Amino acid sequence: MRRKRTFILSVAAVVAAAGTAWIAMPASAAATTAVFRKTSDWGSGWQGTVTITNGGPSAMRSWKVEFDLPAGGTVGSFWEADMAAAGQHRTFTNRGWNGTVPVDGKVTFGFIGTGGAPVNCKINGRPCTGTDGGATQPQPPAATYAPVKPPVAVPSSAPATRPTTQAPTRPADDEADKAVPPAGNLLPVKVTNRTGRNDAVHLYVLGVNLTTGKLGSVNAAGTFTPWTGGGAVPVPAPDVSIPGPADGASTTIKMPKNLSGRIYMSFGDKLNFRLSNGGLVQPAPWAGGDPNRDILFDWSEFTLNDSGLWLNSSQVDMFAVPHIVSVRGGNGVTTRTGELKPGGRQKVIDAIRAEPAFAKSIQTRSDGTVLRVLAPGKAADAGLMSGTYLNPYIDRAWNAYTSRTLTVVPFGDRPGTKFFGRTSGNVMNFTDGAGKVVASFTKPSTANVWGCDGALGAPNDQVVGPISRTLCAAMQRTTLGTLDTQPSGKAADFYKGEPSNHYAKVIHDQMVDGKAYAFAFDDVQNQESLVHSGDPRQAGIVMTPF
């Protein structure tokens, strides 16, 4: 997600990609083993767990697991263990409460990593397989799919970072006086073109079927078709474009229930999609040689299931085509967001151009058309921005908690759930209210902050992930190190530090409601451009003038 690479539509948020890298096959029943399992993979990183099984004749009083990471591999956040690093070698030892493991008992710890899976594992100085012979043998992990951006999450219950209410507004396409469409398994999505441009518009509805886990496309009538084919060398995907509206007109397409993915819109040329063995290769105009580099396009992201519709505009990877997203519920009320102020697109471009560190992130076509502004992580991947831009701020913010405590309160509906962080060396350890260490984070790099991954990778749990999301949002907004309770502050307090995410700041500044998805966890404190309805009857995308 943050490295220069091929991008593939993700099913990681729906189907966990699991691969066992160490195979525990003890020579006898009396063997202690450690098994690594990759529980999810999103391309730029992965989440893994290690399960220790005491197959010995007596209880263990302590344990130590050590392994090597392939060149370029890293471990960021970790939990239920302490970690020491020496080059590519990592050593994990028990914490005070989980060192004792009875006969046939198990204990598990976890971490977020990047690069290849760990190798050469030892448990208490012996091979993790429980055998005496040499290094453990790696097994290829299961196929995984790398998201350009974490897909819209579908929480089982609304977390604190999701708005529970939204101010109703009259829809931009004057639908308010019409009858509310009936509920059904196909949601009408009205796409309106108010750009003032004469280019032909092409639409694409791409995603993952939440029932089957299959990746595919949807036609205008709402029929889902799984992708077939693909190869080690990506091959052209079938043309699944839907003719979009001319300027001043609208096109209504149908979205089937139990789908999560993207609605793309391109101007002039159709997008170039490819199929690989792993899935759909998406446009990545920040990558060298991408055939979509000179096409003006953008997308919105969505999830539609029994709990309703989540639809957002996204600037996580780039800022390109201004568009409003909306949803009309069964009560007739429409909510909308993503609207730029008049002239907002050009003001964003001008503000980025005026900031020397960010100026090269603007991509322009030979005819003078400004196609997009790349998000700083993508610009850095493309060599258009310093890869260490945020380092001075990261150092200050991280070191601030060597002498004082950071309090993280990640759930707005659970103010009593708090975690307390202190920095020791380059690791920030978090304790719960009882003083137990529940999560540890190594100091992130600039790329980790831009991407909210690597050392800030967020597992889907109720402790490490919420802390990680909070840390990343605070560092993007430069409030970590100055506001010692997180999340906290208001929009007016964000992006005051230097260096900071100038890209996110100017985009938020130009939104009518101040809401944008300018980085992956911009939903912390409800700053994201998202609409939701538990009873959606019609969705809308309005491409506005530019």
Task: Measure CA 186 to chain center.
Answer: 27
Single out the residue of 16, 308, 327 nearest to residue 157, CA to CA.
308
pLDDT > 90: percent of the chain: 74
CATH classification at residue 64: 2.60.40.290
- What's 244-288 look like in SS3? CCCCCCEEEEEEECCEEEEEEEEECCCCCCEEECCEEECCCCCCC
- In the chain, what is the straight-line distance between the N-terminal and C-terminal CA atoms, in Å? 29
CATH classification at residue 401: 3.30.920.50
Active-site position among 66, 175, 301, 522: 301
Ranking 43-52, 87-96, 128-137 by mean pLDDT, the lowest is: 128-137
Tokens of 362: 């603007």
- Alpha carbon distances (Å) from 252 to 181, 188, 541: 13, 6, 10
Which residues, listed in sequence order, are joined to residue 422 by a DSSP beta bridge? 429
Same domain (yes/no): 522, 483: no
Q: Is residue 133, in this structure, part of any structural domain at all?
A: no
Task: Measure CA 502 to chain center.
Answer: 20
Distance CA 472, CA 477 (A): 9
DSSP letters, 316-356, are: SSEE-S-EEEEEEETTS-EEEE-PBPTTHHHHHHHHHHTST
Q: Could you say which of 127, 149, 166 is where a domain stops?
A: 127
CATH classification at residue 292: 2.60.110.10
Name the strand (E) or helix (H) holding 472.
Answer: helix 464-476
Instruction: Tell me, yes or no, if 290 is annotated catalytic.
Output: no
Distance CA 319, CA 363 (A): 10
Active-site position among 80, 173, 317, 381: 317
Same domain (yes/no): 357, 396: no
Q: Is residue 59, in this structure, part of any structural domain at all?
A: yes
Same domain (yes/no): 318, 331: yes
Same domain (yes/no): 240, 380: yes
Same domain (yes/no): 225, 249: yes
Q: Is residue 141, in this structure, part of any structural domain at all?
A: no
Same domain (yes/no): 306, 432: no
Q: How confident is the model at residue 163 (pLDDT cuts 50, 70, 90)?
A: very low
**Domain ranges, residue 327:** 188-388+506-543
Q: Is residue 171, in this structure, part of any structural domain at all?
A: no
Q: How confident is the model at residue 39 (pLDDT cuts 50, 70, 90)?
A: confident
DSSP letters, 498-512, are: SS--HHHHHHHHTBT
Q: Is residue 327, in this structure, part of any structural domain at all?
A: yes
Same domain (yes/no): 269, 399: no
What are the two backbone dihedrals, phi and then psi, of residue 199, each rounded to the nearest 5 degrees? -65, 145
Q: List the strands of the sheet with 186-193, edge to edge.
A: 250-256, 186-193, 536-543, 323-329, 334-337
Stretch 204-216: mean pLDDT: 95
Q: Which residues contact 464 (CB under 8 A, 6 or more apart)?
A: 77, 79, 110, 438, 439, 458
Mean pLDDT for the chain overall: 87
Total structural domains within the chain:
3
Q: How confident is the model at residue 438 (pLDDT cuts 50, 70, 90)?
A: very high
Q: Is residue 143, in this structure, part of any structural domain at all?
A: no
Which of the residue ranges 88-97, 122-131, 135-144, 514-523 has the most confident prediction, judged by mean pLDDT? Answer: 514-523
Q: Which residues of 382-404 are buried (b: 16+ CB within 10 A; e: fewer)?
A: bebbeeebbbebbeebbeebeee
Count other C-beta atoms under 10 Å from residue 246's C-beta.
Answer: 14
- Alpha carbon distances (Å) from 230 to 207, 416, 453, 510: 16, 50, 28, 41
Nearest 5°: the CA angle 172, 178, 180 is 100
Res. 125: pLDDT tops 70: yes
Alpha-carbon dihedral sign for residues 445, 392, 408, 433: positive
Same domain (yes/no): 216, 357: yes
Same domain (yes/no): 255, 201: yes
Same domain (yes/no): 374, 406: no
Same domain (yes/no): 352, 293: yes
Which pLDDT belongs to residue 31? 83
Q: Is residue 234, in this structure, part of any structural domain at all?
A: yes
Q: Is residue 179, in this structure, part of any structural domain at all?
A: no
pLDDT tens digits, 313-367: 999 999 999 999 999 999 999 999 999 999 999 999 999 999 999 999 999 999 9
Instruction: Tell me, yes or no, if 301 is annotated catalytic.
Output: yes
Under 8 Å between Cβ of 267 and 314 = no
Res. 154: pLDDT tops 70: no
Same domain (yes/no): 400, 449: yes
- What's 100-149 look like in SS3? CECCCCEEEEEEEEECCCCEEEEECCEECCCCCCCCCCCCCCCCCCCCCC
